[in-house]
Amino acid sequence: MQEKELYLLLNVIKQNGDIQRLVREGISYLQIAELTNEAILMKLVTYQNDKIELSELGIMKFEEIKNTYKRTSKEEWIEKDKKSQIAQIDKNAIFVPRQNELTFQVLS
Domain range for 18 is: 3-72
Q: pLDDT at position 74, please?
A: 64
pLDDT digits (tens, 9 = 90+) for 18-28: 888 889 888 99
User: Phi first, then psi: what are they for 52, rounded to 5°?
Assistant: -105, 130
Does residue 11 lie in a domain region? Answer: yes
Write the DSSP string, 10-67: HHHHHTT--THHHHHTT--HHHHHHHHHHHHHTTSEEEETTEEEE-HHHHHHHHHHHH
Residue 106 lies inside a defined structural domain of this protein: no
Q: Is residue 103 part of a domain?
A: no
Q: What angle separates helix 56-69 from helix 3-14, to the nearest 10 degrees?
A: 120
Task: Give 44-62 pLDDT, tens digit per residue.
Answer: 999 888 888 999 999 999 9
How many domains does one find in the chain? 1
Q: What pTM did the predictor assign?
A: 0.62
